[in-house]
Structure 1
Amino acid sequence: MIELLRLAAQQRPTQDAVVTTARTTTFPELLEQAESVAANLVARGITRLAILDEDPINVFVLLAGGSLAGTETCVYPLAATDEAIAEYRERFDHEHLATSRTSLLDAGALSSVELIESTGAPVPESAPEDAGLMVMTTGTSGKPKAARHLWSRVLRTTARIKPSHDQTWLLAYALNQFGGLQILIHVCAAQTTLVAADSFQPKEGLEAMRRWGVTHASGTPTFWRFVLVELEGDGGELPPLQQITMGGEAVPSALLERITATFPDANISQIYGATEFGQNVTVRDGLAGLPISMLSSDGDVQFKVEDGELYVRSKASMLGYYGQEPIEAENWRATGDLVEIVGDRIEFRGRKSEVINVGGVKIHPLPIEDRIGKVPGVDLVRVFGRANAMVGSIVAVEVVAAAGHDTEEIDRAIRTATADLPPAARPRSIRFVESMGTTGNKLTRTAPTA
């Protein structure tokens, strides 16, 4: 990571590298701070470091400095409570935490600012080949894990990234997420500008896109659904997007159609990947799912389907989860994504953990969500299993209705749209809600408790 930053600082010394509402920094400024971090980490003998800082610029230089020092870094989610942070530190054996949160500083954590400030300690010349980092999973369906990676593997794809100085990227993923890390790496390799809003909420992301003229934005399908809702609600101007990328969740055809209609001049791509893979696969044909040709690819990422589940192996894969046995890069790994081959597409049917068992019949939620998502007046939809004494579970639906639409009409339209589904797959409960829970701008997939 530090070598990318050094090259960007040399070739684009006046380029705005990261822009926030509080400040703007250049690549040379980032490099100076990252080298200071590296010097301080080596001087203090810190080989493993957790990071929790609300300033993305600080997180950037702590990660880059860690890579130069050979310090394994791990970014914690900003939404985590002090109690959760304490649990992470114990579970992941993080003696050292760099943070901007006052309550944690009072409890003995390191100040990010102090770690960034120069002390005159000697700066390492080059990063070790085995410099590592840990990336936490979002925990949308369970307790977050930490995937152990090597910077050398994660940076494999940067050789294909060409400098693109006229691009402005939005940071729509938190930097504790693999998606956020990938954007950070891309911006550094492309020597272009990254814009960070005050939060990762879609409303503030849209405001940032308008304010700074963002041309490229990557976010989860849930993020883009909420952006569309905001656009329809405020009637403001469209940001000048040239590239829209969606990843982190299955991308339904209903959303692809709405995004294409709203931004007809933008290139629209889907990325498929996971924290464990260490890299993403990009699909640019505008169709939901993956092309079947990927099953015969011999590239860095390879796929196969067994018993309806997608398997992957990647040359940039994680070393393993922290605290568990290491894995071999050449081994196939079950993704947990259930798929079906339809014609020349690999279509996603949902996570293995989300299958709804209705009287012994296995129902996949995503095709039902996609169908309901095309009903006029539906802004957001989630399909899940609700416990039932007679059949085990029933198909339940939660819907966020668009402003100005009658919920009774939407209810009738949903039942009409799903009437030709097999009986077990038809929604038995349709509930309208004001909002839906998200984790890392992904829909929280566990069934509601009430």
Structure 2
Amino acid sequence: MFHHFLLERFEQFRDRAAVVWRGDEYSYDWLLAAIRARIEQLNASGGAAGRIVSLEGDYSPFTLATLFALFELRSIVVPVDSSLVEAQKIKYLQTAGAGMRIIEGPEGMKILPVAARTGRGTCEDESSAPERSPWIARLQEEKAPGLIIFTSGSTGTSKAAVHHAGMLLEKYRLVGRAKRTIPFMMFDHIGGINTMLQTVSGGGCLLIVADRSPAEICRMIEAYKVEALPVSPTFMNLLLISEAYKDYDLSSLEVVSYGSEVMPQSTLAAWNSQFPHVRAVQAYGMSELGVLHTKSKDSNSLLFALKGAGVEYRIVDGMLEVKAPTAMLGYLNAPHPFTEDGWLRTGDMARTEGEFIQILGRKSDIINVGGEKVFPAEVESVLQLLSNIEEVAVSSAPSGITGQMVKATIRLKQEESLKQLRSRIWEFCKDKLPPYKIPQKIEVTSQSLTSDRLKKIRSVQSAKY
């Protein structure tokens, strides 16, 4: 079996709490026993070693135990969030070529053959499947554990990124300080997996939330003296707007790390003003890269440095390119995104200032107004300062004159006429943005501009305005 240093470390942490879930505490001793029991169960069911296996569930002590058991068995694991509709799950399993399906929950581990649920022919041996990916072949030939992470698919079809799990796990060999942490990102998200591994590698405790609402997050922070919270900028803005923090004691919170989307400067400033005792740290990661070590210039700055052994970066034509030991091997269903000399094209537009980087936005989100580039986050940062605006998302709209124009989709706190809103926006922005960045098209919506992954949605059907 593949034996990783993390299990040896769990032995050292035996008496500590590893997970708190639904009010119950599970120790590292329990976790070790659960991992061994699942290894025995998987071996008895026909074996998962070297096979592509889906692991379906959300954060719980049971999914964690099964994940580590699969790594020990050198399986190639496809984490799948339990909230996805069945059709989407099946699509992921077919893309990954999974031959075994594990559904994990408090009632126990269910093991199902994929063929029984998808209508495919049996796939008892993925190595004999047609058109086997070279990345899968490499993992199986090396008898190494793997991880297949699907991207969010916000700009199209979700891409399946194949990782060498052994190389990914090496990042966590350095022991950090044990912290009580809420794993905010989903179980199938690279940020969520990073939070889990970073916490347990240092002997910390994962506090599993019932839901990811501002009120529930604040309640958990107070109840369990949470010290670390990794979230998205959109969630930070929602928490500020909700004012849920006023009803709870958040004094235990030491650090908030934010990532997965561009942080508006206005949101960061508002957060630091409200929580001056909490250190705000920018994280950087992708499904294709893992989550890299970073160092923010300071809590008020959007600038950060990439750290870590073997991590290099460069900016080519305004786009960030990275080399890192944790980078994926490649995609299962998309063109290879690496340059010939091994740099990953991230798709993030960036600028440098000395040793520091600032992410400006995704290349796919750039609005081209008559040859001038507009990054949505910059405009959103200004608009969020306006009164009566609860949420705002900036995107492009076609223009017969400039090719594209800036469009702002706004969710209001209280009803307001479009004429008055448009006038207020122009008056507020005229000394803060150049004219081509000021929204020329305003839409008002009653729908949320936040996805179920608590990231900003930039395409939503507007209301009558």
The bucket for the TM-score relative to the shorter chain is 0.7 to 0.9
Which amino acid in 1 is paired with 2:28?
F
Relative distance call for 1:255 and 1:16 in structure 2 (3 A) is same
Match of 1:281 in 2: 293
Q: How does 1:253-272 map to 2 (within 5 A)?
A: 253-272=265-284
Of 288, 294, 302, the residue aligned with 2:312 is 302
Counterpart-to-counterpart distance in 2, 1:2 and 1:395: 53
Counterpart-to-counterpart distance in 1, 2:218 and 2:411: 20
Match of 2:34 in 1: 33
Most deviating of 336-345 and 215-224: 336-345
Report how far residue 241 of structure 1 moved: 0.7
Match of 1:418 in 2: 429
Match of 2:456 in 1: 443
Of 45, 50, 68, the residue aligned with 1:64 is 68
Runs of 5+ consecutive residues of structure 2 not aligned to the other structure: 116-141
Counterpart-to-counterpart distance in 1, 2:276 and 2:418: 30
Match of 2:364 in 1: 353
- How many residues align structurally? 426
Relative distance call for 1:6 and 1:204 in structure 2 (3 A) is same
CA RMSD, aligned part only? 3.2
Which amino acid in 1 is paired with 2:258?
M
Report how far residue 73 of structure 1 moved: 0.6
Match of 2:377 in 1: 366
Match of 1:142 in 2: 156
Of 226, 246, 267, the residue aligned with 1:235 is 246
Counterpart-to-counterpart distance in 2, 1:416 and 1:382: 19
Report how far residue 183 of structure 1 moved: 0.8
- Aligned residue for 1:279, secondary structure, equals strand
Counterpart-to-counterpart distance in 2, 1:409 and 1:300: 54
Match of 1:399 in 2: 410
Counterpart-to-counterpart distance in 1, 2:22 and 2:162: 32
- Verify: 1:160 aligned to 2:174, yes or no: yes
Q: How does 1:74-85 map to 2 (within 5 A)?
A: 74-85=78-89
Runs of 5+ consecutive residues of structure 1 not aligned to the other structure: 111-127
State whether residues 53 and 100 of structure 2, in contact with CA within 8 Å, keep that contact through their aligned partners in structure 1. Answer: yes
Report how far residue 405 of structure 1 moved: 9.8
Most deviating of 39-48 and 172-181: 39-48
Which amino acid in 1 is paired with 2:97?
D
Relative distance call for 1:30 and 1:301 in structure 2 (3 A) is same
Report how far residue 346 of structure 1 moved: 3.4
Which amino acid in 2 is paired with 1:243?
V
Match of 1:313 in 2: 323
Give the fraction of aligned pairs with identical amino acids, expressed as a percent. 21
- Aligned residue for 2:256, secondary structure, equals strand
Counterpart-to-counterpart distance in 2, 1:237 and 1:298: 36
State whether residues 352 and 358 of structure 2, in contact with CA within 8 Å, keep that contact through their aligned partners in structure 1. Answer: yes
Counterpart-to-counterpart distance in 1, 2:41 and 2:160: 25
Which amino acid in 2 is paired with 1:316?
T
Most deviating of 367-376 and 247-256: 367-376
Report how far residue 69 of structure 1 moved: 0.4
Deviations 1:148-173 (A, max 9, x none): 11222212222333342xx2101101
- Verify: 1:88 aligned to 2:92, yes or no: yes
TM-score, reference length from structure 1: 0.84
Q: How does 1:4-23 map to 2 (within 5 A)?
A: 4-21=5-22, 23=24
Most deviating of 134-143 and 215-224: 134-143
Relative distance call for 1:257 and 1:198 in structure 2 (3 A) is same
Match of 1:113 in 2: none
Which amino acid in 2 is paired with 1:132?
G
Relative distance call for 1:255 and 1:246 in structure 2 (3 A) is same
State whether residues 445 and 462 of structure 2, in contact with CA within 8 Å, keep that contact through their aligned partners in structure 1. Answer: no
State whether residues 269 and 300 of structure 2, in contact with CA within 8 Å, keep that contact through their aligned partners in structure 1. Answer: no
Relative distance call for 1:413 and 1:212 in structure 2 (3 A) is farther
Report how far residue 45 of structure 1 moved: 2.7
State whether residues 5 and 27 of structure 1, in contact with CA within 8 Å, keep that contact through their aligned partners in structure 2. Answer: no
Report how far residue 13 of structure 1 moved: 2.0
Deviations 1:182-202 (A, max 9, x none): 011011111011001113344
- Aligned residue for 1:191, secondary structure, equals coil
Counterpart-to-counterpart distance in 2, 1:361 and 1:447: 25
Deviations 1:351-373 (A, max 9, x none): 11111233444322121112222
Counterpart-to-counterpart distance in 1, 2:391 and 2:355: 28
Report how far residue 176 of structure 1 moved: 0.2
Report how far residue 342 of structure 1 moved: 5.9
Deviations 1:364-400 (A, max 9, x none): 2121112222334444321101234554432111233
Relative distance call for 1:310 and 1:289 in structure 2 (3 A) is farther
- Verify: 1:172 aligned to 2:184, yes or no: yes
State whether residues 191 and 291 of structure 2, in contact with CA within 8 Å, keep that contact through their aligned partners in structure 1. Answer: no
Counterpart-to-counterpart distance in 1, 2:4 and 2:193: 16
State whether residues 359 and 393 of structure 1, in contact with CA within 8 Å, keep that contact through their aligned partners in structure 2. Answer: yes
Relative distance call for 1:405 and 1:68 in structure 2 (3 A) is farther
Relative distance call for 1:306 and 1:58 in structure 2 (3 A) is same
Report how far residue 290 of structure 1 moved: 3.1
Match of 2:122 in 1: none
Deviations 1:388-441 (A, max 9, x none): 455443211123345799998765443223224333321012334342131522
Relative distance call for 1:446 and 1:185 in structure 2 (3 A) is same
Relative distance call for 1:263 and 1:389 in structure 2 (3 A) is same
Counterpart-to-counterpart distance in 2, 1:268 and 1:388: 39
Deviations 1:193-239 (A, max 9, x none): 10011133444323322322211111111122122223x25731242
Relative distance call for 1:201 and 1:146 in structure 2 (3 A) is farther
Deviations 1:10-48 (A, max 9, x none): 222221111122532111111111122223334413211
Report how far residue 347 of structure 1 moved: 3.1
Report how far residue 132 of structure 1 moved: 1.2
Counterpart-to-counterpart distance in 2, 1:201 and 1:28: 31
